[in-house]
Amino acid sequence: MPPVADARYAARTARMRPSAVRDILRVSSDPRVISLAGGLPAGELFPVEEYRAAFDAVMAEQGAASLQYGVSEGYAPLREALADRLARLGVDGPPARLLITNGAQQALDLLGKVFLDPGDVIAIEQPTYLGAIQAFDQYEVRYLVVPTDDDGMDVEALDAALRARTETGAPLPKFIYVLPNFQNPSGRTLALARRRRLVEVAARHGVPIVEDDPYGELRYDGDHLPTLHSLDRHQLVIYVGTFSKILAPGLRLGWLAAPTDELFRTLVLAKQPSDLHTAIAPQMAVERLLGDGLLERHVPLVRACYRERRDAMVGAIGEHFPSDVAHTTPHGGLFLWVTLASGVDTGELLVRALDEHVAFVPGASFHVDGSGTDSMRLNFSSEPPDVLREGIRRLATVIAAARDGRAAIAVP
């Protein structure tokens, strides 16, 4: 049931749904519940003291300017510092085409606003980021669902679908939305050969790519792979990033690198009526932190912590889960993906899991076509290793009981 029903509301509200993750977080706020459901970065790692010092310095040095209205594009020194940093990570482009947004989430919303009319098609991997589905749904789109495997999006399947559309005169997707690194929710990474092929396929069909990359810097093993943005020779890749996972999500600071001046100007026009601009004082504080080299010191700490947590979760799964349960072993990011062979619906399993004081997100939430009911997303960033191990132990009991048909699982 759509959450709103007033006949005076716009048709798009019928597609606005509460996030399953937020609902589950509410249910799992009971302190006895071990939540593997959220996607929260570890709060104990946030550089609170450094941020306080930077904020104090901003107030002392910038005073009223830090509290005044600012430009919609973002605080210019932050855009310059960010452009330098991104160039080192393989995302070249002038600061002039970097838009500071209210988190990566706003970047997705603005892209929807600029590209999507009701009935338009976009290509997505499945499963995909729930917040993106929410952002694009409100523009009343249809989805071209591209299958994925352990190497990420199946680019040949995408190519075949785009060819078929061209042959039959069906409209091409307005863009391809893809998460190349440690995808939320699956933890999978798009293989290098597929990255090259994806930019080729996009160029051949003239379809832009939205590259959403919040986790690229959180790699725990293996080599950094080039961004799609750096492989693109046709100005088709729009790169979206964020400070949420490498610094702190409450800052609400993200960005978007537009491949052309024209798209950049249009996105600025789309942002203005949304919020005029992103808050200035946090931008100034983060610019100071970048200048002080905080991220060079901080990101390795985050990586080390999450690597240990991933290892704890993967180890506990190996020890406790029934052997017919498959899971990904991500090389980075915050999540791994579990697939049950037993035919048990993970939406129903969650009810029993909450009784056992453990929570996860059922996989169907990350699908647009009702599939994925045999899967679940597990988060390993927000609890310490011993809690993760206990959470997995509880979950293993629930999975095994459901599989063996011993549990009478109540359907809500």
Ligand X SMILES: Cc1ncc(COP(=O)(O)O)c(C=O)c1O
The residues, ordered by sequence, that sit 6+ positions from 6 with a Cβ below 8 Å of its Cβ are none
Q: Stretches 101-109, 165-173, 314-322, 348-356: which one binds ligand X (CB under 6 A)?
A: 101-109
Is residue 131 involved in binding ligand X (CB under 6 A)? yes
Angle made by CA atoms 280, 90, 136, in degrees to the nearest 5: 60
Strands of 209-212's sheet, edge to edge? 98-101, 254-257, 237-242, 209-212, 176-178, 121-125, 142-146
- Closest approach, Cβ 72 to ligand X, in A, equals 18
Is residue 38 involved in binding ligand X (CB under 6 A)? no
- Closest approach, Cβ 175 to ligand X, in A, equals 15
Which parts of 199-218 interact with ligand X (CB under 6 A)?
212, 214
Which parts of 247-266 interact with ligand X (CB under 6 A)?
249, 254
Q: How many residues at the interface with ligand X, by CB under 6 A? A: 14
Nearest to 311 by CA among 338, 326, 332: 332
Q: What tokens does 44 get?
A: 């104990």
Which parts of 306-335 interact with ligand X (CB under 6 A)?
none
Q: Stretches 78-86, 102-110, 199-207, 321-329: which one binds ligand X (CB under 6 A)?
A: 102-110
Is residue 242 involved in binding ligand X (CB under 6 A)? yes
- Closest approach, Cβ 397 to ligand X, in A, equals 29
Q: Rounded to whole angstroms, what are the CA distances from 257 to 94, 153, 267?
A: 9, 22, 10
Q: Rounded to whole angstroms, what are the CA distances from 71 to 65, 87, 233, 274, 392?
A: 12, 23, 30, 13, 47
Is residue 244 involved in binding ligand X (CB under 6 A)? yes
Is residue 127 involved in binding ligand X (CB under 6 A)? no
Is residue 159 involved in binding ligand X (CB under 6 A)? no
- Closest approach, Cβ 412 to ligand X, in A, equals 26
Nearest to 71 by CA among 265, 301, 351: 265
Report DSSP state, residue 172.
P
Q: Stretches 100-108, 312-320, 353-361, 362-370: which one binds ligand X (CB under 6 A)?
A: 100-108
Residue nearest to ligand X (CB): 103
Q: Stretches 99-107, 116-124, 277-285, 363-371: which one binds ligand X (CB under 6 A)?
A: 99-107
Which parts of 39-98 interact with ligand X (CB under 6 A)?
39
Nearest to 229 by CA among 209, 207, 204, 206: 209
Query: Helix (H) and strand (E) counts for the chain?
Result: 13, 15
The residues of the shown chain that bind ligand X, judged by CB under 6 A, are 39, 103-105, 129, 131, 179, 184, 212, 214, 242, 244, 249, 254
